Amino acid sequence: MDKVLLITGGSRGIGAATARLAASLGYAVAINYTANASAAEEVARQIRAQGGTAITLRADVADEAQVLGMFQQVDAQLGRLSALVNNAGVVDVAARVEQMSLARMKRMFDINVIGSMLCAREAVRRMSTRHGGAGGAIVNVSSVASSLGAPGQYVDYAAAKGAIDAFTIGLGRELTLDGIRVNAVRPGVIDTEIHASGGQPDRARQLAPQLPMQRPGTAEEVAQAIVWLLSDAASYTTASLLDVTGGR
């Protein structure tokens, strides 16, 4: 029987790359998206074309009712959940903290932190051996910004990812006897569409000369780390933060 994986924010970038890689390794994949239905369906189409199983689910992870509905759809269409990748996230335009509105700060934490916690809660309710589940794995997508702070750019984003790091460590330790491993990957500068949403579409290439490897990473390179953490090959790894930064 296929393992069942839910990926939030799976229509582009790291989420889409993870969906394709996991499907190639036998996971049935649920691809969550918020707005771009055609992009999510294209990822699913690519997976199906290779003989895999994929569905798409629209839900805003910051909305509890939508999260509950999304997990119910996974239950109904794919069966018992085996794994969760909390990848959905947002950035905003570069700004100093004194320029940031309350609405921006709330959006940053509602999606990047509360959304991940809500999804993790629902995954635990399904996967935990304490609740009759068969165990599983959760990978949270954090960022190296959590340790760098992102001054003058998006301190709010860095702070949100710092919260994800703490959540990963705490939840991982909380679930050690429940059959669930919880880890995070902390990507560095990765060449994906997220930079455009922050108003800097060329940011990854512009920063390349400052990076030890002199190049940004790819979504596929981060996906490899995520899928390893989901796999039985990482059976003794939990409550851990894995940097995928090219040495940054």
Structure tokens at 248: 């940054």
Predicted confidence (pLDDT) per residue in 58-109, tens digit: 999 999 999 999 999 999 999 999 999 999 999 999 999 999 999 999 999 9
Give me the pLDDT at residue 36, please: 95
Q: Running DSSP on this structure, what letter comes out for residue 12?
A: S
Give me the pLDDT at residue 206, please: 76
Radius of gyration over every alpha carbon of the chain, rounded to an integer in angstroms: 17
CA atoms within 13 A on the CB side of 242: 21
Give me the pLDDT at residue 194, please: 59
Give me the pLDDT at residue 200, please: 63
Mean pLDDT of the chain: 94
> What is the chain's length?
248
Active site members: 157
Predicted confidence (pLDDT) per residue in 223-232, tens digit: 999 999 999 9
What are φ and ψ of residue 233, in 5° steps?
Answer: -65, -20
- How far is Cα 84 from Cα 66, in angstroms, rounded to an integer? 16
Give me the pLDDT at residue 197, please: 55
Per-run averaged pLDDT (10 residues), the chain, 248 residues: 91 97 98 97 98 98 98 98 97 96 98 98 98 98 97 96 98 98 95 62 73 87 98 98 92
Give me the pLDDT at residue 48, please: 98
